[in-house]
Amino acid sequence: MMGKVALDLGGKTALVTGGGSGIGLAIAELLAGSGASVAVLDRNETAVNETLKGLKGDGHLGLEADVAREQDIQKALVRCQERWAHLDILVINAGINGVWCPLGELETAEWDQTMAVNLRGTFLTLKLALPLLRQRGGSVSVVASINGTRMFNNYGATAYACSKAAQVAFAKMTALELAPDRIRVNVVCPGAIDTNIDQSTTMRNLEKIALPPKKGYVPLTKGKAGTAEQVAQVIGFLASDAAAHITGTEIYVDGAQSLLGT
């Protein structure tokens, strides 16, 4: 059996969004199994109840809410406040894959939906939980992804990848701002994990944009390698006064080869 980290979270209170399934469910189980009192928030009420039934210990709380809706989160946090008056652990995990398709076919409403759940939901959850987190300080974990942070070759997942990249920026901005309140903010970026996320995924016409996974393939030039002069051009620019304010910056000269991951 795989070894597990033994945690003692006795006396701590936690809120896990998207706790009805997959990663959020596993987090809720781990926190409760380590002694924390856990509020399980999910838009799927049945899933919330199922999660609650399986949690060790008692005193846990089920919250049906859509993280994209400010009123829902507000109401959920009022219930946490009534129960505990403070929050020590916040896990911002609820998310959807949304629609993956060629950019020209992505409806504005589809873009907005992914951003509303993944990014606005992240903002709303942390913002509205601040008064409770500030009571004793605490730990916030945001579940982002390798998509949009390390990996860019999931064709058509543009809205998803952007929402996940933005979560990383959000976590870094708020980690700095909230440090004086003894609130730590971290971001976790999982790769492929076996969950129910396929149910929140719609894929359309991806064959139109997917490139062949050929080692060393250069997308911009249909496979042709770049030239030494193209690298020299960039170095020349950096050496010139036109680049007087540029420092500490990486520039890839690779025709999108590294984005393809080959």
- When binding is defined by CB under 6 A, the residue of 36, 66, 98, 183 that contacts ligand NAI is 66
Least distance to ligand NAI, CB of residue 141, Å: 11
Binding segment toward ligand NAI, per CB under 6 A, in 28-36, 93-101, 131-139, 238-246 = 93-101
Angle at 83 between CA 85 and CA 177, to 5 degrees: 35
Could you say whether residue 149 binds ligand NAI (CB under 6 A)?
no
Instruction: Give residues 129-148 in contact with ligand NAI (rule: CB under 6 A).
Output: 143, 145
Angle at 58 between CA 55 and CA 61, to 5 degrees: 75
Mask 170-209, x = binds ligand NAI (CB under 6 A)? --------------------x-xx-xxx-xx---------
Could you say whether residue 68 binds ligand NAI (CB under 6 A)?
yes
The C-alpha atoms of residue 116 and residue 70 are separated, in whole angstroms, by 11
Could you say whether residue 98 binds ligand NAI (CB under 6 A)?
no
Residues that bind ligand NAI (CB under 6 A): 18, 20-24, 42-44, 47, 66-68, 93-96, 117, 121, 143, 145, 190, 192-193, 195-197, 199-200
